[in-house]
A and B are shown apart, each in its own frame.
Chain A
Amino acid sequence: MNAAIIVPDGGTQRAGQTLRIDDAHIYLDRLIRELHALGSEKKQPLVSVLEYVSFHIRMTREEIATLKPGGASAFSSTADELEEIVNETARAANEIMGAAECVEAVAMGTDPKTREALQAAATRIYEASAFQDITGQRITKVVRALQHIESRVDALTRACGDAIAASNGGTAPSRDEALLNGPQLARNAATQSEIDSLFDVVDPTS
C-alpha cells in the first residue's frame, strides 16, 4: 500500500510516485517563507538547513541538466553509430570470405600441393572471419547498456522538469565542428554519384 501525504497546494503525493524536482523546490521555498513569517528566534537554524537543502537541489538540477549535452538524440545516435560498426564489419567479413571462396575455386585447378596450401589459407580466413560475430555480440551488449542509461537519464530529466529543456542545447558547436559528422550512417550517406552531382552545381562563391 502506498502512503499518501498532503502537499502544500492541497493535492496528494503517493509514496513511490516521482516527485518533480521543480515541485520539491517550490514546496521547500514556501516552507522557508512560512518559517520566516513565524518570527521566532528558534526558527533560524531550521531555516538555514532548509536554505542549504534548497541550494543543493538547485545545484543538482543544473548538474542533471548537463547530462544530455547533445540533446535527447545523443544516446540513440551513439547506439546507431555502434550498430553501423556491426554492419560495416559484416560487410567487410563477407567481402573477405567471398575472396577466399574465389581462391578456393581457383585452387581446384592447380596441382595437389598448391591446392592444399590455398585451401589451408582459405580455412584460416574463414576461421578469422569469426571476429565479426564476436565483436558484433560485444557491441550489441554495449548498445543495450547505453539504452538502459538513456532510459535512466530520461527519467531524471523528466523529474527535473522544464529547466532541463531550456538548458539542453548545451554549448553550440563551432561552425567547423558542426561539419564533423562522418562517417555517415549508411541510410543517411550520399552515394558518390550524388556527391558528384552536387559538386557540379555548387557555386563556391555563393
Chain B
Amino acid sequence: MSLNKNMRVMIVDDYNTMLRILRNLLRQLDFNNVEEATDGEEALAILKRNPADLIISDWNMTPMTGLDLLRHVRADAQLRRTPFIMVTAESKTENVIAAKQAGVSNYIVKPFNAETLRAKIGSVFGGQ
C-alpha cells in the first residue's frame, strides 16, 4: 500500500525560514496539503478545528513548546492517534527520552536533509 500523498500535514515552527524549508521539501515529496503554525498554541487551535493526518513540529517555541503540543495532542480524544514527528535542534538524550515518554512518533534533529524527512514520514506510517 502506498503512502497517501494527499494527507493533511501540519508543520509547526517559530522560524518562517524553517516553515518554508519544510513546505518545499514536502512539496518535493509530493505532499502539497500542508498547513502552517508558528507555535504549539496556534497549531492546537487549528488542529481542534481541522485535524491533520501528520504533525511535524519544532520543540523550542513560545508560548507553547512542541513538547507541550505533543502532550495536548496525545491527551485529546480526537487527535491522540495523529502521527507526530519532532524536528528540533534539541538533541540531548534527555530530550529524546522526554519526547518518547510524551508519545512522539519520530524525532528529527536539525539540520536535516530531505532523505531523512522522507524516511521518517515513511517510518511513522509503517514503512510505507
Contact B15 A136 (CB under 8 A): yes
> Among the listed A101, A127, A136, which residue makes an inter-chain contact with B111, where contact means beta carbons less than 8 Å apart?
A127
Residues on B with beta carbons closer than 8 Å to the beta carbon of A127: 21, 25, 111-114
Give the interface size bracket for B toward A: 10 to 19
Q: Tell me whether B89 and A132 are in contact (CB under 8 A).
A: no
B107 CB, nearest partner CB in chain A, Å: 16
Q: Quick check: is A73 within 8 A (CB to CB) of the other chain? A: no
Question: Is the CB–CB distance between B17 and A93 below 8 Å?
Answer: yes
Main secondary structure on chain A at its contact with chain B? helix
Chain B hits for A37, CB < 8 A: none
Count chain A residues whose beta carbon lies closer than 8 angstroms to a beta carbon of B. 19
Instruction: Say whether A114 faces chain B, with CB atoms less than 8 Å apart.
Output: no
Q: Which residues of the other chain, B, contact A132 by a CB distance below 8 angstroms?
A: 15, 17-18
Asked if A90 and B25 make an inter-chain contact with CB atoms under 8 angstroms apart, the answer reads no
Residues in A with CB closer than 8 Å to B112 are 127, 130
Cβ-based interface call for A137 (8 A): yes
Among A100, A119, A133, the most chain B Cβ lie within 10 Å of the Cβ of A133
Q: Which residues of B contact A166 (CB under 8 A)?
A: none
**Which residues of A lie under 8 Å from residue B114 when comparing CB positions?**
123, 126-127
Return B96 CB to nearest CB of chain A, in Å: 17
Inter-chain contacts of B18 with A (CB < 8 A): 130, 132-133
Report whether B110 and A101 are in contact in the complex, using a CB–CB cutoff of 8 Å.
no
Supposing A93-B17, A94-B16 touch, asked if A126 and B111 sit within 8 A by C-beta, the answer is no
Q: Would you mind naming 10 contact pairs between A and B with Cβ atoms under 8 Å apart?
A: A90-B15, A97-B21, A97-B24, A119-B28, A122-B24, A123-B25, A126-B21, A126-B114, A130-B21, A136-B15
Interface residues of B (CB under 8 A from A): 13, 15-18, 20-21, 24-25, 28, 60, 89, 110-114
